[in-house]
Copies of this chain bind each other. A is one copy, B any other.
Amino acid sequence: MSASPPELRLENQLCFAVYSAAHAFAQAYKPHLDPMGLTYPQYLVMLLLWEQDGRSVNELGQPLQLDSGTLTPLLKRMEKGGFVTRQRDARDERVTRIHLTEHGQSLRDKARAIPTALLCASGLTLDQLNTLRDQVRVLGENLRE
C-alpha cells in the first residue's frame, strides 16, 4: 500500500473546503438564528419570503435548489413555529402558497443585523466577500451543468 497521491488527499480538495465552509456557516449563524427559533435552511426560506411573500413551494424550491421532499416538512415546521401559513391556491388547487405571518414579517427587522455580524465573522472585506461569492456561484453553476 503506497502513499496516497496528492489529488486524493482530503486537505487538497476544493469540494471539502466548500463542504466544510458550508457547515461552518450554519454554525456561525446559529447564535443569531436560535433566539428567533429558526434553523439556517429556514432562514433561507425567510429571505425569499421577505423579498416576495406568497410564493408557491416551487417558487421557493427553484432558487434554493430544493424539492418538495425537503421543503414540505420544513415548511410544516415553520408553520408550527408560527412563521408562515400554508394554504392551497384558490385558482389552482395543486399549488400551496406560503405566506408570512405578522410575526414572520416582523423578524426581518431583527435579521437586518445578521449580515454585518457574519461579514465580520468571515474576516473578509466587503469587496473580497463579493468577489468570492461570485466565484463560488459560478463554480456551483458549472457543477450543475
Chain A residues near B (Cβ < 8 Å)? 1, 3-5, 7-29, 40, 44, 47-48, 50-51, 53, 63-65, 105, 108, 111-112, 115-116, 118, 121-124, 129, 132-133, 135-145
Indicate how many identical chains form the complex. Answer: 2
Chain A interface, DSSP helix/strand/loop, else mixed: helix
Starting from the known contacts A20-B140, A28-B144, 17 additional A-B residue pairs (CB-CB under 8 Å) come to: A4-B50, A5-B112, A10-B64, A14-B136, A16-B44, A17-B136, A17-B137, A18-B22, A18-B136, A19-B25, A21-B22, A21-B143, A22-B22, A24-B65, A24-B144, A27-B144, A122-B139
Whether the Cβ atoms of A14 and B142 lie closer than 8 Å is no
Whether the Cβ atoms of A47 and B139 lie closer than 8 Å is no
